[in-house]
Amino acid sequence: MNGCLFCRISRGELPAKKALETDTLLAFHDIVPQAPLHLLIIPKHHIDSLNDLTGQEGPLMGDIITTAAKLADQFGVRKSGYRLVANCGKDGGQAVSHLHFHLLGGRSLGWPPG
């Protein structure tokens, strides 16, 4: 989608502090971090939300989860623990209509989150 913030970031039209990039995924630092480590992991092609996933995205979802574990290791939070979160819809806290996962770590994360 042309106007989507995360699509524009994945196309390089807007700046982002990238942590990792593959052919299908982009991970970058959140501009308003909620923890010492706060990355966003997005698919490069547009998917609105979890509600729009079909069975075809199984490999993509696996890549997102294994990428999160690699990033947790890279940034030193794999052993101490981290959180991987996807918000869905307005009431679920999704602020950008492009599927994305928050990878948070570097401090004790309470529950519920807010």
Task: Verify whether residue 45 is a known catalytic residue.
Answer: no
State the alpha helices, DSSP H only, in the chain: 5-10, 58-74
Q: Which of 29, 45, 98, 100 is catalytic?
A: 100
The span from the first CA to the last CA of the chain, in angstroms, equals: 31
65 CB-near residues (< 8 Å, 6+ apart): 84
Hey, which residues are catalytic here? 100
